[in-house]
Structure 1
Amino acid sequence: MTDIQYFWRHPLAEQVREEGRKQGLKEGRLQSRQEIILLTLEWQGIPVPDSVRDRVTACADLDQLAIWARRALGATDAGELFADE
């Protein structure tokens, strides 16, 4: 029983847990930004085609998602998110 309890305090186990927490936080931030972009468009009554939805949800770059979120605020069409690309 002592060996099992010791394992959870081992530096390697702590490192793995910390890496998992960081990865989970990043995934959560990505998902939140993706959702806010899509919701912003939907709240403005802008149809969101599957191609736009797929591109937004596939993006793993927080900075790019922030740019798209700002663009979504003034958009009149979902394609405007990608206007300069």
Structure 2
Amino acid sequence: MRCEWCGEQGAKEVSSTVYWELPDGSRAIEIKETPGVKCDLCGMEYQAENTIQSLEDQLLLIDTLKIGSSTTFKILMKQPRLLKRNYFRYD
């Protein structure tokens, strides 16, 4: 897998803990077991753009008051949505 930061081969898929600010800016939450990428060559660890988009859309479309300060990626993505999709995304 090619690293998006340094462009070299050698990146691998990992599961990591990330901290994400809620769309309303009221607080940040811990999201465990989040899919990510880690490059042993440059040391960068990051989330792919599609994972970031999925997280941001989900947090925008669910009742965030029902989420505690910590959750897992799978549990977060299974939360019922108030809307079917993000109607503000035009792509």
Shorter-chain TM-score category?
0.3 to 0.5
Higher relative contact order (CA 8 A, sep 6+): 1
Relative to the length of structure 1, the TM-score reads: 0.34
Higher strand share: 2
Which is greater in Rg?
1
Higher helix share: 1
Relative to the length of structure 2, the TM-score reads: 0.32
